[in-house]
Amino acid sequence: MTIVASLHLRAPLLPAGEGGTVAGDALMALELDAYAKARGFRLAAIESIGSTNDEGLDRAAAGDAGRLWIVAKTQTGGRGRRGRRWLSPSGNLYATLLLIDAGPVARLPELGFVAGVAIASTLRDLGLASDRFAIKWPNDLLAGRAKFAGILLEARQMPARAHATVVGIGVNCAWHPDDLAYPATDLAALMGHAVTPGDVFAPLSHRMAGMLDLWDRGDGFARIREIWLDFAAGVGEVIRVDAGTRSYEGVFETLDPRGRLLLGTKSGTIAIEAGDILLARPEGSREGALT
């Protein structure tokens, strides 16, 4: 996890209806699923903001009790892992779930896997077949080799030793950038019809509530891990892992019980805590072997 500090200006909140419904234009017609409401989740929608993750951490510092979804129509300072910029004009989903003391500190990084399987399950709910997408360790969702969703997990210690965790989720619904260093796509392109942030958010709020129940503050991570591996890209394949100061190449064997990537190399199996992986290109590609 990343410990962050933030300061930003934000636009006023859009009016929220009772039970977590936000009235606005079609892009912001958001509503929590009934199960999420019953489990105590709330919703705040914002027209424009620097970063939904920063907003969540600011609200935690101000005393918010958590189980709060923050969704923005646009972000001016959206980011991904390692500070990478996440382009955030209107049309896509930019959401953060704020959780307070969600589990033991050592188990909080597992929330990235919880979010991954929640997004994957949401995509199936929307009618996207499981063989058309995959989760790329540790935090991206791909169609083929094109990214269309990402997760950013950050945390901050609050007074009285409470820990705030924000689970940032970005999903390309209506469009995707075409000037990136890697391929990208969006749900409208994948599904052949318009997809709004509201279409994604309601089932996502349901699935995230359910997966958090299953995770059970870390006691249920073994089951989350099993589901994650069912959706995983590259298992059993040769991959390359950029782990910061070093790179490794080998076979992606599995995840260990802590969520570390187990890579089978010529010198044996190694466990990798964090990094970026390069997957083999689809068969027949004339480009490099890994991407």
In this structure, what DSSP letter does residue 11 have?
Answer: P
Tokens of 274: 């964090």
Statement to judge: residues 220 and 90 lie in one domain: yes
Name which of 208, 200, 191 is nearest 128 in CA terms.
191
Residue with tokens 């997408």: 133
Residue with tokens 């209107």: 90
130, 231 contact by CB (below 8 A): yes
Statement to judge: residues 40 and 96 lie in one domain: yes
pLDDT of residue 26: 46
pLDDT of residue 234: 93
Q: Does residue 290 lie within any of the structural domains? A: no
277, 240 contact by CB (below 8 A): yes
Domain of 256?
Answer: 238-278
137, 228 contact by CB (below 8 A): no
Statement to judge: residues 17 and 58 lie in one domain: yes
Statement to judge: residues 105 and 31 lie in one domain: yes
pLDDT of residue 76: 86
Total number of domains constituting the chain: 2
CATH code (residue 242): 2.30.30.100
The pLDDT profile of the chain, 291 residues, written as one tens digit per residue, is: 332 322 222 333 333 333 444 434 444 589 999 999 999 999 999 999 989 999 999 999 999 999 999 999 998 865 555 555 655 678 999 999 999 999 999 999 999 999 999 999 999 999 999 999 999 999 999 999 899 999 999 999 998 879 999 999 999 999 998 877 789 999 999 999 999 999 999 999 999 999 999 999 999 999 999 999 999 999 999 999 998 889 999 999 999 999 999 999 999 999 999 898 988 655 443 333 454
Name which of 115, 108, 126, 103 is nearest 69 in CA terms.
115
Confidence (pTM): 0.86
Statement to judge: residues 243 and 226 lie in one domain: no
254, 262 contact by CB (below 8 A): yes
Statement to judge: residues 30 and 160 lie in one domain: yes
Q: Does residue 287 lie within any of the structural domains? A: no
Statement to judge: residues 126 and 45 lie in one domain: yes
Statement to judge: residues 42 and 119 lie in one domain: yes
Measured CA to CA, the distance from residue 153 to residue 132 in angstroms comes to 25
Tokens of 193: 């019809």
Q: Does residue 286 lie within any of the structural domains? A: no
CATH code (residue 130): 3.30.930.10
Q: Hey, CA dihedral for 84, 2, 99, 136, is it positive or negative?
A: positive
Statement to judge: residues 23 and 77 lie in one domain: yes
Name which of 245, 221, 246 is nearest 109 in CA terms.
221
pLDDT of residue 19: 41
Statement to judge: residues 220 and 243 lie in one domain: no
CA angle 75, 80, 86 (to 5 degrees): 40
Measured CA to CA, the distance from residue 11 to residue 230 in angstroms comes to 40
pLDDT of residue 180: 73
60, 100 contact by CB (below 8 A): yes
